[in-house]
């Protein structure tokens, strides 16, 4: 069976082309004309690339103006000419042995497979595909494929459909971006959609002292501190896989070999069709900030140690003074009262006036002894020497007596902690109940102490007006701050809930 088609002939150089009917053998494949031709039959002849009908001559194949590829049945590129390599921004050697589907937009992969199947089953086929160059830019092409029956090789020509001026504009835009990035006071990079870095600005290269070739791909990871490398790769792989922005801090080696802390912010780039085209990111040297933060953190830690030390010294001093008052002043007052009481008994009938004076003296001594006991308890309750449970029971009873507010108490039996923890919890309860009395306007308070999973938990709950949001920021408001510092010194946690009342929950380790 013969085929016929229209063919242009040109009688002389100046005459316009004329169309005549010729009979010829079937053309093995059809190729679209270069961009710019119209679609009318008188303007769009089919261009036969006769060299492609047989095994190509090496020189002719390499220098052919059309992008030309040889593929096996799996779509793997066996040979590519210079024009095809230029379309994909690669060299023929780089393309050989790679699957063409790896250079095709993912959404067009199925269409390419169908094109390949048609070429091997019916001899030829064509489709419009979107190829991806080395920097993940899309190049739309008209692909015409042709294969001989029983052959293991498919010939494919991929003619770009985009006008050259669009590519030039895109290259100009990319060049403008790179020029701006080179002038920016930050380390800037771009990556393709596979997460491989493809470009770095001048400041990055000056910072690392390495070339673009050394940094490209995943070569830049050689400058990341080994301790930070797992976090960096995991964070970036997750961001690239989900097309999401990311931010992290890590240490990057500079040209002197020292590691500097950098803050990295990366964001995805999308093409005109909304598909992921890659990532762009910046790195900012934050070493000075990290040093300042570390110094501030160390200063705060030392201040907390100092506060904790001063608190221990103050408690020890309170204990010493309470003991001295109890042992010296308390004993002397007791002896004085015994003597005055004896005189009061003996002068009852014989010296009524003296007896009356002695009765007044006894009352003053008793008042003084009560004041001494109160001072001792304020310095350090003697109930603390009997254990935490006894001290809390005494404090709750004292609160009921002073305030007249109903206070429920729930205690676990046999709570046994060291004196340091017992004193801290007692002081926290004391300060909390004083805050309730001064500010809460409560009519009911509930205190509980129990053990849970190796931790000692104390809860103080009231039905008062609750806490104001900025109460901790008030000048000279150190009640809650003191409670927090005591708990922090013991490695504990504080939770404050304020909704129709206030609940403080303190949790500290038993040991």
Query: pLDDT digits over 431-481, tens only?
Result: 899 889 888 889 999 999 998 888 999 999 999 888 766 555 554 456 677
The whole-model pTM stands at 0.45
| C-alpha–C-alpha distance, residues 172 and 119, integer Å | 38
24-162: CATH homologous superfamily? Answer: PAS domain (3.30.450.20)
- Output the pLDDT for position 205: 93
Instruction: List all residues 6 or more positions away from 510 whose beta carbon is below 8 Å from its beta carbon.
Output: 417, 451, 454, 455, 456
Greatest mean pLDDT among 147-156, 223-232, 290-299, 434-443 lies in 223-232
167-285: CATH homologous superfamily? Answer: PAS domain (3.30.450.20)
| C-alpha–C-alpha distance, residues 158 and 87, integer Å | 9
- Output the pLDDT for position 72: 92
> What CATH class is the domain 382-511?
alpha beta
Local confidence band at 5 (pLDDT 50, 70, 90 cut-offs): very low
Greatest mean pLDDT among 6-15, 324-333, 440-449 lies in 440-449
167-285 and 382-511 share one CATH topology? no
What average pLDDT does the segment 363-378 reach? Answer: 88
- Output the pLDDT for position 511: 76
What average pLDDT does the segment 113-130 reach? Answer: 89
Per cent of the chain over pLDDT 70 is 83
- What is the domain partition of the chain in residue ranges? 24-162, 167-285, 293-380, 382-511
- Output the pLDDT for position 98: 93
What is the DSSP secondary-structure string of 213-238? HHHTBTGGGGGB-TTTHHHHHHHHHH
List, for residues 235-269, the tens digit of each pLDDT value. 999 999 888 999 999 999 999 999 999 999 999 98
- Output the pLDDT for position 49: 35
Q: Please, what's the b/e burial string for 404-416 (b: 16 or more CB within 10 A of its CB; e: otherwise)?
A: ebebebebeeebe
| C-alpha–C-alpha distance, residues 510 and 351, integer Å | 63
Local confidence band at 169 (pLDDT 50, 70, 90 cut-offs): low
pLDDT for 44 beyond 50:
no
């Amino acid at each position: 069976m013969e085929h016929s088609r229209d063919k242009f002939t040109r009688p002389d150089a100046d005459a316009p082309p004329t169309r005549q009917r010729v009979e010829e053998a079937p053309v093995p494949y059809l190729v679209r004309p270069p961009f710019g031709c119209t679609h009318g039959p008188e303007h769009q002849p089919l261009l036969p690339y006769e060299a492609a009908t047989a095994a190509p001559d090496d020189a002719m194949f390499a220098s052919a103006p059309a992008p030309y590829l040889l593929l096996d049945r799996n779509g793997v590129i066996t040979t590519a000419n210079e024009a095809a390599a230029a379309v994909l921004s690669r060299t023929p050697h780089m393309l050989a042995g790679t699957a063409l589907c790896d250079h095709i937009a993912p959404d067009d992969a199925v269409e390419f497979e169908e094109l390949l199947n048609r070429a091997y089953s019916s001899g030829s086929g064509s489709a419009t595909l979107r190829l991806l160059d080395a920097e993940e830019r899309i190049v739309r092409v008209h692909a015409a494929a042709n294969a001989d029956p029983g052959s293991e090789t498919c010939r494919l020509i991929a003619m770009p459909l985009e006008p050259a001026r669009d590519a030039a504009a895109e290259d100009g835009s990319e060049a403008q971006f790179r020029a701006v990035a080179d002038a920016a006071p930050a380390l800037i990079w771009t990556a393709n959609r596979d997460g491989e870095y493809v470009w770095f600005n001048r400041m990055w290269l000056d910072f690392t002292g390495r070339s673009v070739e050394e940094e490209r791909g995943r070569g830049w990871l050689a400058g990341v501190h080994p301790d930070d490398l797992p976090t960096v790769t995991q964070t970036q792989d997750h961001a690239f896989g989900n097309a999401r922005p990311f931010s992290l801090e890590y240490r990057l080696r500079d040209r002197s070999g020292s590691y500097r802390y950098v803050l990295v912010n990366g964001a995805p780039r999308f093409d005109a069709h909304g598909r992921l085209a890659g990532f762009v990111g910046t790195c900012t040297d934050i070493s000075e900030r990290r040093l300042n933060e570390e110094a501030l953190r160390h200063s705060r830690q030392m201040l907390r140690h100092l506060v904790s030390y001063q608190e221990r010294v103050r408690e020890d001093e309170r204990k010493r003074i309470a003991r001295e008052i109890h042992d010296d002043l308390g004993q002397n007052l007791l002896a004085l009262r015994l003597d005055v009481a004896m005189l009061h008994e003996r002068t009852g009938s014989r010296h009524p006036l003296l007896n009356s004076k002695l009765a007044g003296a006894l009352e003053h001594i008793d008042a003084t002894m009560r004041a001494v006991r109160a001072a001792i308890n304020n310095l350090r309750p003697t109930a603390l020497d009997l254990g935490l449970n006894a001290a809390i029971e005494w404090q709750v009873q004292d609160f009921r007596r002073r305030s007249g507010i109903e206070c429920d108490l729930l205690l676990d039996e046999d709570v046994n902690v060291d004196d340091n923890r017992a004193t801290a919890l007692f002081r926290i309860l004391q300060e909390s109940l004083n805050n309730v009395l001064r500010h809460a306007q409560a009519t009911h308070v509930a205190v509980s102490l129990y053990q849970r999973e190796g931790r000692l938990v104390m809860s103080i709950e009231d039905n008062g007006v609750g806490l104001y949001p900025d109460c901790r920021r008030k000048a000279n408001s150190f009640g809650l701050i003191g409670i927090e510092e005591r708990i922090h010194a013991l490695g504990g946690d504080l939770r404050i809930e304020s909704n129709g009342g206030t609940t403080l929950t303190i949790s500290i380790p038993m040991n």
